[in-house]
Structure 1
Amino acid sequence: MKDRTVLNENHKLAFGCSGIAGLYRQVSELEAETVLQAAWDLGIRHFDTAPHYGHGSAEHRLGRFLRGRSGWVLSTKVGRLLAPDLSPPAVANGFHSALPFSQRFDFSYDGIMRSVEDSFQRLGLNRIDIAYVHDIGDPDAGTNTHAHFQQLLDGGARALEELKSSDVIGSVGLGVNTVEVCERLIGKMPIDLILLAGRYTLLDQSAEVRLFERLRAHKIQLVIGGVYNSGILATGPVAGANYDYAPATPDILARVREIETICHKHDTALATVAIQFPSRSDVVASTLIGTAKVRSLERNVAQFNETVPDELWSALKGAGVIGATK
């Protein structure tokens, strides 16, 4: 058995492919290819996708782009199965460039095996480096039930272990939005990485408080998505700003205003600090960004690579914004 896929310095910044599947707006094949090429030209070699993204269109588009190239690391997700839909909606789960399929959750042994096989077909590639169990234990998705967890623990986890031991996939992970599900599953199944959205940011450091020591003990790498908490840490406390996919409350607006003031005192943009914050931890192996716009991608990469003065991080710690709960 080959060693598991381990993210290193070359993978500190990852490109998430939900945007190229038309999340929130229609995205053409040409637009998708253009932004993927821009990511490649900017040195990004770590790409993340999922069957959920456009009912397979993100996997299809990413696979076509990566075919014939080398040196990349690819993660996709398991737990959802797609089936042809004769009457597909114009917009599927927020994706405007979706393929004509429907989806259902299946975390069973057979479901995981089929999910991986289907992803290989859509990608048109012969390698999947990381397979994340997608959205298990998510109350919004309806997967926080005993039945879903039993499917995974009674069969799905075994399927993933077999796929890894036979070199079909490189590593096994969780792709989730809550700390709670990580706490529940660490130690119950083999986990090499966790892709966690929105729980280690300037506004929410619950992952650090509740998970970091367990991650170190189990040698689990962490990939952080949602660094802007769905918008407000990029836009600042403007009218209509969103926090965790809902309008920001007055308390959140006030907290962001305080953080932004500290950043401005050190001549640094809030978004720059937000995108760099997770990577300062030894537990975080990669920071995930996603967009279908080249200009946004270029801005994100520039901000990730910008030099932030140590005094700014010290000021944020002194104000209790970061590190206060250690």
Structure 2
Amino acid sequence: MSSENRITASFAVPPELSDRRLDQAAAELMPEHSRSRLQSWIKSGALTVNGEKRKPRDKVMLDDQINLDAEPEAQVSWEAEDITLDIVYEDEHLLVINKPAGLVVHPAAGHAAGTLVNALLNYAPEVENLPRAGIVHRLDKDTSGIMVAARSLVAHTSLVDQLQTRTMGREYDAVVVGELTGGGTVDAPIGRHPRERKKMAVVASGKPAVTHYRLAERFAAHTHIRCKLESGRTHQIRVHMAHVKHPLVGDPLYGGRLRLPKGTTEELREALAAFNRQALHARQLTLEHPETGEILSWEVPLPEDMQALLAALRKHVEDLASDVY
């Protein structure tokens, strides 16, 4: 919920968040807001429980009503930077962007500048008044493709709602190791890896995650697939495909060491060795316009590096067929 000039939300505490700290529960329920912002709203009384002001560390119980009613204010202290954006669509509410591989979405430790957020603040300064500068979903640094940012509070609230209710459609292209014989679904919970903190993993205590995939093209020992998400967990496609023993080509975290198929030509070996990012591209985005209600859809082509990878895999199939090694 929201109005033109207020940030508002209302939740009943679900069973899995009962007996958690208020700031922790609020962060789970409203991931679009930073932890520090939520804590400041709790301390100021903008975020209440059952109509009462509480402390961040106070526990919440099942069915407690968490309510937020806050003034928009500058949410970020990041600097605007003149970084070129590939804009697919824009209006007063939305910015749809084709993100190149290598561009970090959010400033963080090790990436304080040169990010998509820095570029947005330069191109659309009004986003400084929005939670996380209008960013409602992310792509990993080395994942390319289409993503949307909000330019207004109305759009931000609508996009967050569409993500939470899973009505926003997202389709990805990926190239995986191994020859898949058909499409399928991976339904496995994802959480932080128990030992390696930079990684996610399929763990029993993780959050529900569902990835559907279908075949786009089969090669001698690799497969081009298209994936649709029912959830949006960190590294979801990468973790799920590695879980079913078909990791993404080039994935530095989940791919393991380079595996070369039997009969690999020197040309293909070089192409696979040179592809040093996960072969993942956000191809299509479908959403409901926050103001008009119109269903909009955009598609961006594969970047040159993935096109070259697919070309090398096709040529390898042709070489095998003609017994050229």
Task: Specify if TM > 0.5.
Answer: no
Between the two structures, name the one with larger relative contact order (CA 8 Å, sep ≥ 6).
1
TM-score (norm 1): 0.29
Structure with more of its chain in helix, by fraction = 1
Structure with more of its chain in strand, by fraction = 2
